[in-house]
Structure formats: C-alpha cells, structure tokens
C-alpha cells in the first residue's frame, strides 16, 4: 500500500502541524453517541454480527478522511496511506484477556465482513497481545468495552508525542427515548486534525450508519 510523503514546505497546514507537534504537544478526545437504531434492527433480522459490522463502518470513515491516515514512515517523513486496515481487539472469556488482530479492508461490506469473521474464528483461542503477524504498517486501532456505557473516554498515550493515528473505542449501546445509542470515543493528534476534521469524521459515521440500506448487502 502506497505511503504518500507530504512536502511540508508547501503544505498549508505546516504551521498548525509544527505547533501541536513540538511547541504545544496536544492530542484530544471526543466522545459522542451514534444512533444505531435502524442498523441494529436490520442486522438482527439478517443474523449479522454487530462488532464486525461496525468495524467496517469505522474503517470506511477512516479511509474517507486523509487526516485520519497520517503517520510517519521509517525515515520520519510525514505522509498518509492510500488506505488503512483496522486493528481491533478480541476478548478471551476464559481468562479475561484480549488479543489484537487485524483484517484486510475492502470497500465491499460483504467481502470485508467475511474477512473479519474468518480472522476472528482463526485467532479466537490464540492468546497474546498481538497474535496475527505480521502487522502491516497501514493499520489503526479499534477497541471495544461492551460491558459499560460511557459518557467520556480518554486514552493517554505516553510516547514522544508523535502518535498521529486515530484511536477509536466503542462502549455498550443503550436505549434512550426509543433510540439505541452507541458510545464512540475518538482520540486523535491535534497536529493532523482539528475539531472540524473530527466533527466531519463523526458525522460521516452517523450518516453512513443511517444509510445502511445502501451498503448492507449480505
């Protein structure tokens, strides 16, 4: 997958990028509720699993926004991937641990859904932090805490302040005023994405979920 290097000298975002990367190192998180009422009803009728379905939704939105595909390459060049694959957690109920696996992305929901089901089944009993090796470089993390509904979630990444990729966390969905709502938390570096970009990303997720009939083709 191609990594496109950004020429900082002509990049219109350069002053913002440098400020939030070096002067005021800054990441931020946004937590919101996604209305999944129609989507959840439909996948239950079709006997489709929710977690793989929503992994597709998130990955579709990530791949629609260049700001959420930015990273550094091995030579510390800033750039963005043409396409990202999701890295997500699977839970081992016997010892209450989890493992990270990844699946190849496809724009076709049917193809992607079956990729995820195959990977989940293959690695469901494999213990360890990262069990599907090798991990490609163009992956971003998704996690889920289906045991609790949260109104805020903040993930603190202690490194050199250069982790640019989005981190998405899902909570336990709940019923409110006749709607089924899913807590979704986004963590992102301010150097690559402002409030506008995050709002656009979240709104696209909601729009995509609301228009499930256009892509839910199983």
Catalytic amino acids?
Answer: 190
109-118: long-range contacts, CB 8 A cutoff, minimum separation 24: 109/53, 109/56, 109/215, 109/216, 109/217, 109/218, 110/217, 110/218, 112/56, 112/59, 113/48, 113/52, 113/53, 113/56, 113/218, 116/52, 116/55, 116/56, 117/49, 117/52
> How far is Cα 203 from Cα 117, in angstroms, rounded to an integer?
27
| Cis-peptide into 134, omega within 30 deg | yes
147-155: long-range contacts, CB 8 A cutoff, minimum separation 24: 147/172, 148/172, 149/173, 149/174, 149/183, 150/31, 150/183, 150/185, 151/31, 151/183, 152/29, 152/31, 152/185, 153/29, 153/31, 153/183, 153/185, 154/29, 154/185, 154/187, 155/29, 155/185, 155/187
């Amino acid at each position: 997958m191609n990594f496109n290097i950004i020429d900082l000298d002509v990049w219109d975002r350069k002053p913002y990028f440098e400020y939030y990367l070096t002067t005021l190192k800054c990441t931020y998180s946004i937590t919101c509720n996604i209305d999944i009422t129609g989507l959840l009803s439909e996948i239950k009728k079709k006997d489709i699993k929710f977690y793989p379905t929503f992994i597709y939704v998130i990955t579709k939105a990530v791949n629609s926004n260049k700001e959420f595909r930015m990273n550094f390459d091995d030579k510390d060049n800033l750039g963005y991937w043409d396409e990202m694959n999701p890295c997500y957690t699977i839970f081992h109920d016997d010892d209450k641990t989890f493992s990270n696996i990844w699946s190849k992305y496809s724009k076709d929901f049917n193809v992607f859904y079956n990729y995820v089901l195959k990977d989940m089944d293959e690695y469901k009993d494999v213990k360890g932090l990262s069990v599907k090796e090798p991990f490609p470089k163009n992956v971003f993390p998704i996690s889920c805490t289906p045991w609790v509904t949260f109104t805020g979630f903040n993930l603190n990444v202690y490194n050199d302040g250069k982790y640019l990729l989005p981190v998405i966390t899902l909570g336990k969905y709940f019923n409110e005023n006749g709607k089924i709502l899913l807590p979704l938390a986004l963590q992102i570096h301010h150097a690559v994405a402002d409030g506008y970009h995050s709002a656009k990303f979240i709104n696209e997720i909601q729009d995509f979920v609301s228009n499930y009939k256009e892509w839910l083709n199983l």
